[in-house]
Structure 1
């Protein structure tokens, strides 16, 4: 249920991607995001086993301090066919234009 609420919040602000702490990600949550076309990035993943688990669960990006190790893990997963396919469709551009973002920030500063 929490995953659906977060999906609604992400869609309400016009986002098409979400970056989260990797330990908070679960397979049901990732599947809900995947079905809605929301890309999920995990941060900051520095352990091999976590890299492997997240890649096989289907995250679209992994932020790490050890890119060389991540590349090695991904190469191994590709070699044995364990990686899930990426999103089935292209990620939609955000509905928020730069001008709209600036107006919203300025209004917030004025206390509107």
Structure 2
């Protein structure tokens, strides 16, 4: 049995299920993210070892591209507003360089 590792990184936020769905085990969060992020210019990735442990992986929404770098802060601020609007982060959250490994 082999183990696959996928490295991911970006500038963005760790996201959570919207508050109205946090207790709903049938809610497909990744499907929801696909719908929310379509045509947004943002991407997401998972990190963690949930495939082995059964725990939930962490999910991050990030800027799709680092360029142009001269307005990264403005674009990250726009991402924050977008994620707040869709109830995926709290107002107190701040963007950061994020990343890690997804173990499959």
Larger strand proportion, structure 1 or 2? 2
Higher relative contact order (CA 8 A, sep 6+): 2
TM over 0.5: no
Bin of the TM-score, shorter chain as denominator length: under 0.3
Q: What's the TM-score, normalizing by structure 2? A: 0.26
Q: Point out the structure with max Rg over C-alpha.
A: 1
Q: What's the TM-score, normalizing by structure 1? A: 0.25
Larger helix proportion, structure 1 or 2? 1
